[in-house]
Amino acid sequence: MPPRTILVFDVDGTLTAARQVISPEMRQFLLDTRKRVPLAVVGGSDLNKITEQLAKDRNTLLSMFDYTFSENGLLGYKGTDPYPIQYLENDFDVIHFFGDKTSPGGNDHEIFADTRTIGHTVSGPEDTKLQVLSVLENYENFV
């Protein structure tokens, strides 16, 4: 991957089926992907709800991702330290965002359409995996 690249994910409809818990396969996929590139998650819910969907407890959630943002980015963490989402662009040159509701009016549209991100519209967790693999493959072929 080029230096200073991060993959950012919505929760519902992207990493999980809507309001469901993450599958063991997706969890492992994220852990494997994180060995290659930093990861962030952005959810519209509070941190407790995101934790219920993605991890067994808050510490596990915060250790699964390099950055965790809840309440549409109002609350953020870099590891376990508080971190404002607007500083993400200072740490990364390339920000890929994966979300399912990316059309105008969708809850993912704002970050998807932001000029600082490369937006990817996904149709569910399996499509998310395929698109992430494609992004990783394209970068590896580039280097």
**Residues 12, 66, 100, 108: which is the catalytic one?**
12
Q: Does 12 participate in catalysis according to the annotation?
A: yes
Q: What three-state secondary structure class fits 12?
A: strand
12 annotated ligand-binding residue: yes
**Residues 10, 66, 100, 108: which is the catalytic one?**
10
Q: Report the relative pairing of strands 67-70 and 81-82 from DSSP bridges.
A: unpaired
Q: Does 93 participate in catalysis according to the annotation?
A: no
Determine how many CB atoms are found less than 10 A away from the CB of residue 140: 10
Task: Please measure the distance between the N-terminal and C-terminal CA atoms of the chain and give it in whole angstroms.
Answer: 7
10 annotated ligand-binding residue: yes
- What residues are designated binding site for alpha-D-mannose 1-phosphate? 19
- What residues are designated binding site for Mg(2+)? 10, 12
| Active site residue ranges | 10, 12
- What residues are designated binding site? 10, 12, 19
